[in-house]
Amino acid sequence: MKPVRLTEEEIKAIVETAKEVFGNDVKVWLFGSRVDLTKRGGDIDLYIETPFKGDILDKKLTFLVRLEDKIGEQRIDLIIRKPNADDEIAKIAKASGVRLF
């Protein structure tokens, strides 16, 4: 995996939480400033693809609360889409991001 500005523990927590909340079919990308080693600070931008068909807002909130319990308070932007979404943010996140799982 390409180096990113997250610790191994943070990456592990993100992947574990995504699988717990969305299931093993989830795909997770980190994008934005945390994939640029020349930058400092910044929020954690996550793009998640999941075939989950239920209340996605509930799942989003559950993910954010559980992740905060594991890595502490962080600014996290979370975008959730169905698999193979082809809107602009999906294209940007997958093209410029680093797949974590």
Please write the tens of the pLDDT for every residue from 29-82. 999 999 998 998 899 999 999 998 889 999 999 999 999 999 999 999 999 999
Give 40's DSSP letter: -
C-alpha distances (whole Å) from 9 to each of 13, 16, 71, 72, 94 are 6, 10, 8, 12, 22
Look at residue 54 in the predicted model and tell me its pLDDT.
86
CA gyration radius, the chain: 13
At 25, the pLDDT band (50, 70, 90 cuts) reads very high
Look at residue 27 in the predicted model and tell me its pLDDT.
98
Look at residue 83 in the predicted model and tell me its pLDDT.
94
At 8, the pLDDT band (50, 70, 90 cuts) reads very high
Domain boundaries in the chain? 8-99
> Domain 8-99 belongs to what topology?
Beta Polymerase; domain 2 (3.30.460)
- The residue-averaged pLDDT of 6-27 equals 98
